[in-house]
Amino acid sequence: MELELVLKRGDREIIKVFSVPSSSHMTLLDALWYIKENADPTISFRSMCRAGVCGTCGVKANGKPVLACSVDISSFGGRVRVEPLDGLRVIRDLVVDHEALVERLRRNRVWMVPTSENKPLPPSLFRRLERGYECIMCGLCDSVCPVLIQNNSFGGPMAFAKAYPILLDPRNKDPRWQALALKENLINACTHCKNCSLACPKSVMPEALISLEENYLVSLGLLEKNRQEDFGFL
């Protein structure tokens, strides 16, 4: 098995090719660690949980965003080209800066301001909201969003997906305040292309959650029905 690594170092782009023994159940992350430990200790990539939970190991493999710890290298055939994710500043090699993702969470006010009463969620409501809880904030969806590429004022599918269960949680003190943040972050500029849902490794389906949020904003009188924000390319 061959790995072609596209490594970004300052203004330079270095391409290095390594052979790794492809044993069964070897993930792309295992292969990167194999290279680091046996061939080139200078390569940089990021990992923590190795279990698809922490969301830190996103890279592009053969042009598609993936969690390196969650894909089997045998699924790529004999060769795979590994690059840093699109749309985020590259710190070094395959490591991208997640600060832009955190900033979008801040801008969209993605946190709970609880009511004084802390009742458990009814199971039926929990099932409606659980897609949003599954989001591990890996940013793969943001890296493929054409609206974000066009305009950084857009809130991004990750923050919108993460906001969904908070917005509709009855224990949230001021959902209108959060709904306003989604409007200010131009949620209705989403073109519903579904790139984000196709890229998501946890099947969160951010595009579907954005549709539900838009409907909710319409019900609050914050958006006009079927009116899409125009960034000049619609």
Task: Give contact residues for ligand SF4 (rule: CB under 6 A).
Answer: 135-141, 145-147, 157-158, 161, 190-196, 199-200, 202, 204, 206-207, 210
Distance separating alpha carbons of residues 168 and 71, to the nearest angstrom: 33
Least distance (Å) between residue 22 CB and ligand FES? 19
Q: How far is CA 217 from CA 171, 173, 210, in A?
A: 18, 17, 10
Q: How far is the CB of 47 from ligand FES (least distance, A)?
A: 4
- Residue 3's φ and ψ, nearest 5 degrees, are -115, 125
Site mask for ligand FES (CB under 6 A), range 57-76, x = bound = x---------x-x-------
Tell whether the torsion through CA atoms of 194, 197, 200 and 206 is positive or negative: positive
Selected binder of ligand FES within 44, 47, 74, 150 (CB under 6 A): 47
Q: Can residue 199 be called a binding residue for ligand FES (CB under 6 A)? A: no
Q: What is the smallest separation between the CB atom of 200 and ligand FES, expressed in angstroms?
A: 13
Q: Out of 56, 143, 172, 195, which residue is the one contacting ligand FES (CB under 6 A)?
A: 56
Phi, psi of 72 (to 5 degrees): -80, 130
Contact 179, 220 (CB under 8 A): yes
